[in-house]
Amino acid sequence: MEKEFVHVRALDRGIKVLFALESAGKPMSLRELGSAINLSNATTLRMLATLEDFGLIEKARAGYRLGLSVLPLTHGYLLGNELTLAALPVLQDLARSTGEAVSLFVRFGLERIVIQRVDGPSALRYLYPTGQRLPLYLGVGKILAATILPEEMEVILAIAEKARFASGEPFSRARFLEELEQIRKVKFAVSINERVMGVASVAAPIINASGETIAAVNIAGPVNRMNAERLDTYSVEIRRAAKVISDQCGFFKNPALSGGLSRLRYESTEERLASDYTM
């Protein structure tokens, strides 16, 4: 029998306020917030007052923004998450041996999110801030996209077809689907000049005992260092690292397919993809 979940309406609304502010990436006015979560200004103001009492939001000159109390929550997540704890020493070793940035990603609705990053001595410093949401249709996102549901794929394709790579090249549905088929076979993905011009990366899936792809790990660096020979070498190293992490994560679940995150698949995530993303 499928478990039924009861949502507390006030809590649901308050969480939607937090997601709206995170998605905007800048302060929002009372009117903008009310419109984003489909509530009256009076109800939204009550939500804001409660969240402000807990330091989860704060007033800014241009309206409201996320508050300082959000940061300890992030820190607590990273300290208590079994996946990040298992992956950290592997990422550290890989960053030392390659000199590049090594990052860990999980699905977040129809996006991916950086949950851990380790910089090697030569790493590009601006690539993937922890907590940043990124598309599934390019870069390491293709590893996670290779196992999504058909209806989710159609949403992602509809958005991606309006975008371009950092190189200016248009997105190709046919090529993307071919890449995903290849990724399923070889268990790694290479991207060059896709999200950021001048950057190349190689990524591999982290797979649990049920065969689910629960995360992805990548090595990223400038194209002048990530030549064909090095990409070949790193494709072996990244798969080896992913297997080490996978072997420790046999019973982990994909957070995008369990609990409340499943609700994000067709709610705020789809709107965000439609409004925010270019390549």
DSSP 223: T
**Alpha helices by DSSP H, 99-227:** 141-145, 150-160, 173-186
Backbone φ, ψ for residue 275 (5° rounding): -100, -25
**Which residue ranges form the domains of the chain, and what is each CATH number?**
9-69 (1.10.10.10), 81-273 (3.30.450.40)
Express each pLDDT in 119-156 by its tens digit.
988 877 656 678 888 899 999 999 999 999 888 899 99
Nearest to 202 by CA among 184, 224, 228, 176: 228
Backbone φ, ψ for residue 182 (5° rounding): -65, -40
Residues above pLDDT 90, as percent of the chain = 60
> CA–CA separation, 278 vs 176, rounded Å?
16
Lowest mean pLDDT among 126-135, 253-262, 265-274: 265-274
Express each pLDDT in 183-214 by its tens digit.
999 999 999 999 888 899 999 999 998 889 99
The whole-model pTM stands at 0.84
Whether pLDDT at 74 is above 70: yes
> CA–CA separation, 137 vs 111, rounded Å?
9
